[in-house]
A and B are shown apart, each in its own frame.
Chain A
Amino acid sequence: MKTRPTLRDKKRYVAFELVSDQIITRQELIKEILNSIYSLFGDIGCSEINPWLMTFDGKYGIIRCAREKTTETRAALACMNNLRGVRMSILVLGISGTIKGATEKFIQNTLIKELEPEKKE
């Protein structure tokens, strides 16, 4: 049965960019994000944050988290620094209430920004 709208969990979607010079797969990234949240906030904190990687295309991605826990999510993402020995970091582009908003506002904007200088040349 569907949950009633007033009882649904309120969520936020964190758009991010992965900074790394090697290819990192979706599975590895999920594992590392959960690992980072576990080590920083423990099991209870992780259940409150309720994280999930919605999409990830190798560079840009979206993570879902609870509405009240965006600061904690940011902190946990900032604590990631290497993945099986490969140096990496995560740059949070922005936080939105819908996946559509996060994609349109932050990820597509970033793509356009990077393409512009080439057009001028």
Chain B
Amino acid sequence: MSLFDSRFYDLYIHPGSSYPIARIASEAQRFGYSGIAIINSAITDRDEIPQNFSIYRGIGISCKPSRLREEIKKHKGGIEILAVPGGDEELNRVAVETEGLDLLMQPAQFNNVLAKAASDNSVAIGFDLGSLIRLRGEARVRELIIMRVNLKHARKYNLSMILTSNAHSIYDIRSPREMAALAGLFGMTKEEAVNAMSETPLGLLKRKNPDYIQEGIEII
């Protein structure tokens, strides 16, 4: 059995408000995904979404570090995936120390203190492969260095990693095998990459289920 037989999810797709989501959904299904999460966009054309394909909603919170804690608390406990695009150290620090956050995307200046806090609050670290696709030259080198550092800390502190395409349109979606190849550029192994696209997102989505109580507890 091949590694790539699992179900794949992309949890950070970021189209503009007017972009047809059904088109993204059908394209993502053709590329081999079983579900996607749309950030900060209402799902209007739900009827046209292909069968056997799930679409989740996500909230991307970008604000000042001082307001971040309140914003996360406001949305905490809902069914939407809470994501914060990473920034400087101050913002990352507030994000990983607040309980209830699910995903911190591509944090720059990540360090062991932040990694430990993220591990305590079970915040997943997102790798934005879209930046590798869109950027060239010096800017891409910088992103690769950030990803290498994040990977090192995620391995050391057993953080959950999530690979996302951060797609703005259908032309930014890449199939799982290509995502794994891109992840290989900064040292991620194939197994880790597959886990970051199938098992970890599934676990995160399970946590968002209204029936879910706490880690290790379930109603029989």
Contact = CB atoms under 8 A, between A and B. Distances in A.
Interface residues of A, number: 18
Interface of A: 19-20, 39-40, 71-72, 74-75, 77-79, 81-82, 87-89, 91-92
Nearest to A77: B178
Contacts, number: 47
Contact of A78 (B136, B137, B181): B181
Interface SS majority for chain B: helix
B134 A81 contact: yes
A53 B48 CA distance: 37
A39 B132 CA distance: 11
Given A19-B171, A75-B178, 6 more contacts: A20-B171, A75-B182, A75-B184, A78-B174, A79-B182, A87-B169
Q: Interface range on chain B: under 10, 10 to 19, 20 to 34, or 35 or more?
A: 20 to 34
B213 interface: no
Interface of B: 27, 30-31, 132-134, 136-137, 169-175, 177-179, 181-182, 184-185
A65 B75 CA distance: 49
B133 A78 contact: yes
A70 to B, nearest CB: 8
